Amino acid sequence: MKKSPFKLSLIIFILLVLVLSTAYFGVGYYIYSTLAKADPGCSNDCLNNPSSFRDNSEESDFPFDKYQVDYWESHQYAGGDEGIILDAWWLPIKEKEDINAPVVIVVHGLRVSKYDPDMLTVAGLLHLKGFNVLLFDLRDHGKSTIEDGKVSIGTKEYRDVMASVDWLIEVKGIDAKRIGIYGDSMGGATAAIAFGIDNRIQSLVFDNAFLDLYIIL
């Protein structure tokens, strides 16, 4: 028995909808996977540290040595979710720590880490001006725990910032009234979320952060 033209048209329409929907979500997932890729590790900056760093991606005559720090400590502590361990560098302004000096937490952006020469320059500049500095890798970046290898553009990472505040207060004895944040790019958005939730954070500086997540998406 022959199918009616109406039934045939309906079948074709349903198949077309299924094919287009599959293509739409397939392309969408590919774009999401590409844009959300965190790229953990430290790339070609793995030899950098607060006392010796440079831009390893290109020739530069920038005086990085002016912002190098003689004394610093390497630490790991619990992140903002179960199973997350954050890798960090603590740069006190004195070898015997000055807990009365203000602290700035430096939060890096997407696909970089605490090994990035720009982040190390910021940390060195702050240190030179009398600030204790905490420079750490967000989850799925640098040497911190790889959760899923993707970013959430700050909507999960902000908990790592708050965990860093916990560590400063509970382990280093820092007064919560003396803690601020510097956030770069995605790190700025991440810091902004933490700042809006955690009233222990006293000040916030954005560098090249985005303001509208909807536009970014």
3-state secondary structure of 78: strand
- Same domain as 11, residue 108: no
The CATH number for 71's domain is 3.40.50.1820
Domain membership of residue 157 as a residue range: 43-216
Alpha carbon dihedral 50, 55, 59, 65, in 10-degree steps, equals: -20
- Same domain as 206, residue 172: yes
| pLDDT digit string, tens, across residues 81-129 | 999 999 999 999 987 767 789 999 999 999 999 999 999 999 999 999 9
- Same domain as 96, residue 12: no
Mean pLDDT of the chain: 91
Strand pairing report for 132-136 and 85-91:
antiparallel
Q: What's residue 217's pLDDT?
A: 66
Alpha carbon distance 213, 217 (integer Å): 6
- Same domain as 99, residue 199: yes
Q: 1: pLDDT confidence band, cut at 50, 70 and 90?
A: low
Q: What's residue 2's pLDDT?
A: 54
Alpha carbon dihedral 136, 139, 144, 145, in 10-degree steps, equals: 160
- Tally of domains in the chain: 2
3-state secondary structure of 164: helix
- Same domain as 17, residue 80: no
- Same domain as 68, residue 27: no
pTM across the whole model: 0.86
The DSSP code sequence of 108-159 is --TT--TT-HHHHHHHHHHHHTT-EEEEEPPTTSBTS--SSSB--TTTTTHH
